[in-house]
Structure 1
Amino acid sequence: MTSRCRARLAVAAFACVAVLPLAALAADPAGDKAPASGYDYPTQGRVEYVLGCMDDNGHDFANVYKCSCVIDKIAAALPYDDYVEQMTFAKYATLGGEGGNEFRVDRARAQTKKYRALQQEAYQACGLAKATPSAAK
């Protein structure tokens, strides 16, 4: 075998070895899509929460971690659809006029109360100040 063939063979063998671990990581033998703990939220939903939290608590670097911690705590407790529903009710609970009527019915008030309590627990656990109604973004 010539040196050129040996070099090609070595590169091909390296490529197969280098790709194998990546393929092994991508494979999900159990077919389990759930995260290790809690519920899986879309990245966009998490980022929107963190940015809103930082708007309310300050744009310093420490708040990136604290606000990320808060959404992680919320995600551990609520499925994403429940989070969206409760967060929406909480966000629009103070909406005035006729358009805000559906956010002031008993069910909406109960969902708002649950969300704000969960959010307050998460704020305390993550070292943020008291959650305000505007933090319910």
Structure 2
Amino acid sequence: MTRAGPVRPIVAALIVFAATAAIARAEEVNDYPTAARAEYVFGCLKANGETRHAIEQCSCSIDVVASLIPYDRYVTAETVLSLSQVRGDMGSPFRTSEQAANALNDLRRAQAEAEVRCF
């Protein structure tokens, strides 16, 4: 019985440490703003049918993407994707740049992984 006294503070400290680590990891994974997640899910729903099942799949998809690439890289890829559709010389750097291609490839790999896991 006397050993239980010193063990309790150690167990309590371990629980606090584990909870803190879990919260830090959740914040790290959840660095995408809600509006960005909602926009992704909305676009995904338009592409995959607006059903309850599609909502679950699309929500899963953005979670996977968010776990694989940081938000700033996602924004870069989305910007490149949007601006590469501009015709003529204005869109050319976004279609031919190696940095643009790398950002798009990162996004496409993350989306492919999300497709495998969620659909």
**Alpha-carbon distance in structure 2 between the residues aligned to 1:57 and 1:40:** 25
Give the root-mean-square deviation of aligned CA atoms.
Answer: 2.3
2:44: which partner in 1? 53
How far residue 54 of structure 1 moved from its aligned partner, in angstroms, is 0.7
* C-alpha separation in 2, matches of 1:62 and 1:91: 28
- Per residue, is there more helix in 1 or in 2? 2
2:54 corresponds in structure 1 to 63
CA distance change for structure 1 residues 92 and 116 in 2, over 3 Å: closer, same or farther?
farther
**Larger Rg computed on CA atoms:** 1
Structure 2 gap ranges (5+) = 1-19
Equivalent-residue separation in structure 2 for 1:74 and 1:56 (angstroms): 17
Structure 1 residues 67 and 38, CA gap change in structure 2 (3 angstroms): same
Candidates 113, 117, 124, aligned match of 2:109:
117
Structure 1: runs of 5+ lacking an equivalent: 1-29, 128-137
Q: In the comparison of the two structures, how many residue pairs are matched?
A: 99
Q: Is the 8 A contact 1:70 1:119 kept in 2?
A: yes
TM-score by length of 1: 0.62
TM-score, with normalisation over the residues of structure 2? 0.71
Same amino acid, percent of matched pairs: 35
* SS of 1:35 mapped into structure 2: helix
